[in-house]
Structure 1
Amino acid sequence: MTALESIYIGGSNGKDEILTLKLANRHGLITGATGTGKTVSLQILAEGFSAAGVPVFCADVKGDLSGIAACGTSKDFLEKRAEAIGFSGRYNYEAFPAIFWDLYGEQGHPVRTTVSEVGPLLLSRLLELNDTQEGVLNVLFELADDEGLLLLDMKDLRAMLAHVADRADELSRHYGNVSKASIGAIQRRLLVLERQGGDLLFGEPALDIRDLMRTAPDGRGMVSILAADKLMQSPRLYAVFLLWLLSELFEELPEVGDPEKPKLVFFFDEAHLLFNGAPKALVEKVEQVVRLIRSKGVGVYFVTQNPTDVPETVLSQLGNRVQHALRAFTPRDQKAVRAAAETFRPNPELDTERVITELGVGEALVSTLEGKGVPSIVQRTLVRPPSSRLGPVTEAERRTMIQTSPIFGLYDRSRDRESAYELLMERAQVKQRQEERQRAEEDRVASREGAPRRTRSGFQIPDFGRDDRPRPASTRQRTQRSSSRDSVLEAGLKSAARSLGSSLGRALVRGVLGSLKRGF
């Protein structure tokens, strides 16, 4: 078999251990305790796929996988390893074409998706919602679809939650029970996610899956490296993001059957984070994706400490195995070692269970698919040294690679187009203007009829201002008479004065007349 048809993994007892490219889309598993060489095994496989023209996606959890983009340097222990396995004549140092990605946009190109593309199942997993809260989230997505509201970023999701809360009674009759308490719980979970930087995942421009499947001008596959050292501080976000990528590949790529080599190889490091506490529905989705995605030309390789970290339904789909050392210090560790040994095709000349605990750094038990997809007999193997750098690239090297990347400028600036938030805000403004016009009309009608005016808050107040409207004459006279009336005290005093005046007047008249009569 030629080098273009397989990937050289290492040597065992004078025999080459290889991974056949035609069977590489049958998925694989790399396991072993911390510090036993899992990252190097991932690195040499990624180098082999790239050299064969196969694009690769992998997460750089510790930061040292970025060295694949830089040329390796000669070191004694590397040369000795190459000589020990008969690889020295073929061993050379080279860098491989790479694209750096980073959810936070600090160590690579920003990578985003939309809320709609993630969907309610993965979003519920990300927010750690219970079944009731997940049901409300499903109602939200259904309502958004029915009303043509795009869910792109976090503010769209928050606006839709408020919208659903306002219409909770109405929606409960059509979509099922919508609890405002559940909506409040989801809103609190969103706040926690935002503080962890999860809001950076949602937005546009969204990642185009085709940008993960690029090849370099020289025909080698591009290695997409996701900076995950900071992302690992939010392990659930990390797991959901990678699972979303797998789901997108599954949904977007066409069926190709069994190609001569994969169209893309996907390495899922720290795979146990995907399954820890995962609900049954999510595990079933992973199983479905892993089982069916191989027919789309995609190989998935899980990297974790122990095979038992992966559910049996998924583990049974992983045909290519690289097992590094495991430690058996406790009964639980011993059980894990036994389970790992039982996953291999037995070798009569090898006590697999014992050897797993004796492997040194850079050694592994290797079994890959051969012939018609039958696993090879497990062999104790010295893993070949990598051609690229062992260790991370420098910050200056990383910046240069980002600026010379074939996708530079495509994702580096976010875009905010009209979506659910803007449409709901527009609806709210239209409704407010209609209510203001209605209140103004009610005030005009009230002022014409002399009725109390209605305030914005809905209270009614009398009109204490001067009313200049014309009135009938009788009304004006009544008004004038009413307004000219005096107080009771003043009226009494005036009446008394009038009475007194009248009496004095009569007395004076009688006196004058009497005098006149006596004069005659």
Structure 2
Amino acid sequence: MSDDPQSVPGKILVGAGVGPGTDIAYRYLLLPFGNRHGLISGATGGGKTVSLQRLAEGFSKAGTAVFLADVKGDIAGLSQPGDARPAFVERAKKLGLVYRPEKFPVVFWDIFGEQGHPVRATIAEMGPLLLARMLDLNETQEGVLNIVFRVADEQGLLLYDLKDLRAVLTYVADKASEIQTKYGNVAPATIGAIQRQLLALENQGGDKFIGEPALDLNDFIAKDENGRGYVNILAADRLMRSPRLYGTFLLWMLTELFARLPEVGDLEAPKLAFFFDEAHLLFTDAPKSLLTAIEQVVRLIRSKGVGVYFVTQSPLDVPDAVLGQLGNRIQHALRAFTPRDQKAVRAAAETFRRNSNFDTAEAIMQLGVGEALVSMLDAKGAPEVVDRALIAPPAARVGPISAEERQAVIENSPLYGLYDTPMDRESAYEVLQKRAGARMENIGSGPAKRTDAENAESAPEPSAGGGLLGKLTGAVGGLFTRSNPKRMSPAELAARAALQSAARSLGTQISREIMRNIFGNMSR
């Protein structure tokens, strides 16, 4: 075992309880239980960001990839060495540690493509349940959206971007009398309401997120040449202006990880640590079906080697069904000025295993900056007795970085050039345009027999894992390996993005059916 408390194999140093004299009791997160999820909570200014950054650094050192949403712009400092500020140096000394500035391998992402690599998903990958949440649809409108997705599946109409969805909505409206005998009534007013919500989403910048090349989540789970996990940081300061888009986007990422990652069971360390900052935005006003889906994903995704860590002000922001699955806890100070505040303090205290040496509720209100109540899972997977601790200082910079520093990190990224250029392949919009044109040409000339080439062109693309999907996957794996993408030319990077996006699109239908089976009838 290492003599350095910060470099103990299989553990992340969180902090330490400092007792009388020189007694120091270090508190660790055990990496084999890093996929048992966690919660970092506390009032603004209490030190949540430092705790989050401390865990992110520990996971990266262990080879675990990390995802973070940077809602205030101060997480970006992970890409730069710490500046040895006096408060951190003094805290390290108090904990018996040596402060060593370090930086970590970072990849910046941004839905709007301004502060990092663009992040996109196709309409098909979003699915009707999450898209209805993003558009704030009511139950009737969500039902019609499900019909639209089913019709698109049956007609072989690929849904990639907003214009594809608008085209299929119009198609369904035109065929409403035929469709209602099979799926139920499709009112023009409902179609119109969905179209208006799509316009509102577009005005919020949602069209930047929806399209191709779609994000390959496998690009998140990577290590640098030193074996450290990449820290993926999503620039979310602008995204936070659209809270529903923010919450739905992160939930989409979780469901995609759940659907696409293989079962791995318990590992020596998680493959990915996913930090969900401002977690209350995920649960506020969420319908019961969505909350059930979130609970299912959180419970089952740990077997995929993914640990989910919610970051929020109060434990009351997280539903009990989800809160009960969060085994690793860091609780910063809460202030109890109102009855609701007092309820939050009691709720937080009741989630910990009691320590007979102090009153947990009182301790929560007495914590200073940098202090927290800590309870991690022990070697048997049971919650430890809660203890009061100083959080160990992060090694990287705590705070924002300059535009020049950010650009340098982006240009040195292994994914530089892969997602930057938008794609617009033939999909539902183009297919329906061709059909409309063909109908106009055939007016007055009688029915024309379709050629084999025309039949092949309009036939639905296969969605199974074999055939074209298998060939595309093999091409991606054989031609463009992930080991050193920096050596690819811009043309090769674009080709790889196209092939990956096509392969995922072909598999979207079968993935969605699997998710529907898992979640029952929630998306109907």
TM-score by length of 2: 0.82
- Pick the structure with greater CA Rg: 1
What SS class does the counterpart of residue 321 from structure 1 fall into? Answer: strand
Does residue 79 of structure 1 match 2:84?
no
Which consecutive residues of structure 2, in runs of 5 or more, have no partner in the other structure?
A: 3-7, 19-23, 447-524
Does residue 347 of structure 1 match 2:355?
yes
Q: Which residue is equivalent to 2:404?
A: 396
Q: Which residue is equivalent to 1:507?
A: none
Give the 5 Å matches for 1:261-280: 261-280=269-288
Residues 397-454 of structure 1 show CA distances to partners (whole Å, capped at 9, x for unaligned) of: 111111110001110001110100000000011111112656xxxxxxxxxxxxxxxx
Give the 5 Å matches for 1:112-151: 112-151=120-159
The residue type paired with residue 35 of structure 2 is N
Q: Which residue is equivalent to 1:226?
A: 234
Q: Which residue is equivalent to 1:10?
A: 15
Q: Which residue is equivalent to 1:35?
A: 45
Does residue 165 of structure 1 match 2:173?
yes
Q: For the residues of structure 2 that align with 1:377 and 1:118, how far apart are their CA atoms?
A: 41
Identify which of 49, 53, 70 aligns with 2:63.
53
Which consecutive residues of structure 1, in runs of 5 or more, have no partner in the other structure?
A: 439-520
Residues 41-64 of structure 1 show CA distances to partners (whole Å, capped at 9, x for unaligned) of: 100100000011110001000000
Q: For the residues of structure 2 that align with 1:433 and 1:399, how far apart are their CA atoms?
A: 52
Q: Which residue is equivalent to 1:490?
A: none
Q: For the residues of structure 2 that align with 1:4 and 1:62, how far apart are their CA atoms?
A: 32
Q: For the residues of structure 1 that align with 2:317 and 2:88, how far apart are their CA atoms?
A: 31
The residue type paired with residue 8 of structure 1 is L
Question: How many residues matched?
Answer: 437
RMSD of aligned Cα (Å): 1.1
How far off its partner does 1:179 sit? 1.1
The residue type paired with residue 214 of structure 1 is A
The residue type paired with residue 235 of structure 2 is A
Residues 161-213 of structure 1 show CA distances to partners (whole Å, capped at 9, x for unaligned) of: 11111111111011111111110100000010000001111111100011100
Does residue 69 of structure 1 match 2:90?
no
Give the 5 Å matches for 1:282-431: 282-431=290-439
Does residue 245 of structure 1 match 2:250?
no
Q: For the residues of structure 2 that align with 1:258 and 1:193, how far apart are their CA atoms?
A: 40
Give the 5 Å matches for 1:184-203: 184-203=192-211
Q: For the residues of structure 2 that align with 1:156 and 1:44, how far apart are their CA atoms?
A: 43
How far off its partner does 1:87 sit? 1.4
What SS class does the counterpart of residue 64 from structure 1 fall into? Answer: coil
Does residue 205 of structure 1 match 2:213?
yes
Q: For the residues of structure 2 that align with 1:348 and 1:208, how far apart are their CA atoms?
A: 49
What SS class does the counterpart of residue 443 from structure 2 fall into? Answer: helix
The residue type paired with residue 252 of structure 1 is R
What SS class does the counterpart of residue 203 from structure 1 fall into? Answer: coil
How far off its partner does 1:4 sit? 2.5
Residues 225-281 of structure 1 show CA distances to partners (whole Å, capped at 9, x for unaligned) of: 000000000000000000000001101111111111101100000000000000000
Does residue 20 of structure 1 match 2:30?
yes
What SS class does the counterpart of residue 369 from structure 1 fall into? Answer: coil
Matched-pair identity in %: 61
What SS class does the counterpart of residue 155 from structure 1 fall into? Answer: helix
The residue type paired with residue 129 of structure 1 is L
Q: For the residues of structure 2 that align with 1:92 and 1:221, how far apart are their CA atoms?
A: 19
Is the 2:30–2:379 contact (alpha carbons within 8 Å) kept by the matching residues of 1? no
Q: Which residue is equivalent to 1:176?
A: 184
Q: Flag as ranges the 4+ runs of structure 1 deviating above 3 A.
A: none
Q: For the residues of structure 1 that align with 2:153 and 2:323, how far apart are their CA atoms?
A: 36
Q: For the residues of structure 2 that align with 1:79 and 1:201, how far apart are their CA atoms?
A: 41
TM-score by length of 1: 0.83
How far off its partner does 1:216 sit? 0.4
Q: For the residues of structure 1 that align with 2:177 and 2:136, how far apart are their CA atoms?
A: 25
What SS class does the counterpart of residue 325 from structure 1 fall into? Answer: coil
